[in-house]
Amino acid sequence: MVELVKTKFGNVVTLSLGRKCNNACVMCITPLGNSGEPSFEGLKAKIDNLENPIEIYFSGGEPTIRGDFFKIVNYVRKLYPNSKLGVVTNGRMFAYPGFASKVFKSRVTKIITEIHAHNQGLHDSITSVSGSFDQTVRGIDNILELPFELEIRIVIHRINYTYLPEIAEFLVKKYPPKVRFVMFPISIIGRAFKEKDKVVVANQMIKPYVEKAAEIFLKHNRKVFIFHLPHCMIDRKYWQILPGVTTIDRKIYFPERCDGCMMRPNCSGLWKTYAFIVGDKEINPIK
């Protein structure tokens, strides 16, 4: 699958290399199962037809576990020599000696990964894989030894939302100021939809914990952003780290009353799946 975001400078492309993953996260947006893995030739057909890509991100499942991962990366680099390349990964493969260096030598410059908790027990319960926390942490350590641009994401759901301040404390103590952090609530699709009773939590419930975590990041002068929360669901103090507008219009929902909100042009709205399952009563237009 190819996800395309258009900007005035060109297109930002996310290229899914398949569903297979070495984690089994309870809130994953990818459907369960490993069927339908695209072949290299099938991916080539999509890669050949990319239009003006200024950035290309390899995602999954877990893209780095493909045996032909570097073959794909090198093909993209040859075809689009001036495009910025990034990998959206759980980070575990980077724990293996030499893997991070090989990725860097393929001229990938950005890594986007996730930390689901501040300790092994909670993280591994979310990924359903024992040892995944330690491997992800080692992988991030290896990434930081090279001049990658690194973004660590915290996906918010019922299992981890009350621990957001502890997660923030762990991250600011462990990682240097150059790392960018992003917090956002789950999109309830794929496995997350099947496990919705375990993972869905109302935005009004996560609000105080998101704000406490944001305060910790800001106190330590860290680069932090909150995605996919409407302005009316977060204190104005944190609007500075709320980029708002999303270009994934087909996945976003606004109730009609949002039309009168002063922040509507800059708002992310709700995930459509969230509005379908939880509703939109929390929305309170800002006049």
DSSP alpha helices (H): ranges in 60-202? 69-79, 99-105, 120-127, 132-143, 164-174, 191-194, 196-199
> What would the pLDDT profile of 7-51 be if each residue is shown by its tens digit?
666 788 999 999 999 999 999 988 765 556 899 999 999 999 998
Q: Which of 61, 126, 53 is nearest to 90 (CA)?
A: 61
pLDDT of residue 143: 98
Q: How far apart are CA 170 and CA 167, in angstroms?
A: 5
Contact between 245 and 265 (Cβ < 8 Å): yes
Q: What is the DSSP string of 212-236?
A: HHHHHHHHTT-EEEE-S--GGGS-G
pLDDT at 213 over 60: yes
258-261 contacts, C-beta under 8 A, 24 or more apart: 258/283, 258/285, 260/285, 260/287, 261/231, 261/232, 261/285, 261/286, 261/287
> What would the pLDDT profile of 101-138 be if each residue is shown by its tens digit?
999 999 999 999 999 999 999 999 999 999 999 999 99
- State the CB neighbour count (10 A cutoff) for residue 221: 9
DSSP alpha helices (H): ranges in the chain? 40-48, 69-79, 99-105, 120-127, 132-143, 164-174, 191-194, 196-199, 203-219, 272-277
Domains and CATH numbers, the chain: 2-277 (3.20.20.70)
Contact between 244 and 231 (Cβ < 8 Å): yes
3-state secondary structure of 27: coil
Better-scored residue on pLDDT, 69 or 248: 69
Q: How far apart are CA 155 and CA 164, in angstroms?
A: 10
pLDDT of residue 30: 84
> Count of residues for the chain?
287
Largest CA distance in the chain: 55
Q: Beta 2-7 vs 10-16: how paired, if at all?
A: antiparallel
3-state secondary structure of 251: helix
Question: 164-174 and 203-219 helices cross at what angle (nearest 10)?
Answer: 20
Q: Beta 84-88 vs 110-114: how paired, if at all?
A: parallel
pLDDT of residue 250: 72
pLDDT at 4 over 60: no
* Contacting residues for 126 by C-beta, under 8 A, at least 6 apart: 25, 26, 27, 116, 117, 159, 160
Q: How far apart are CA 116 and CA 268, in angstroms?
A: 23
> What would the pLDDT profile of 165-204 be if each residue is shown by its tens digit?
999 999 999 999 999 999 999 999 999 999 999 999 999 9
- State the CB neighbour count (10 A cutoff) for residue 232: 16
Q: Which of 77, 43, 53 is nearest to 5 (CA)?
A: 53
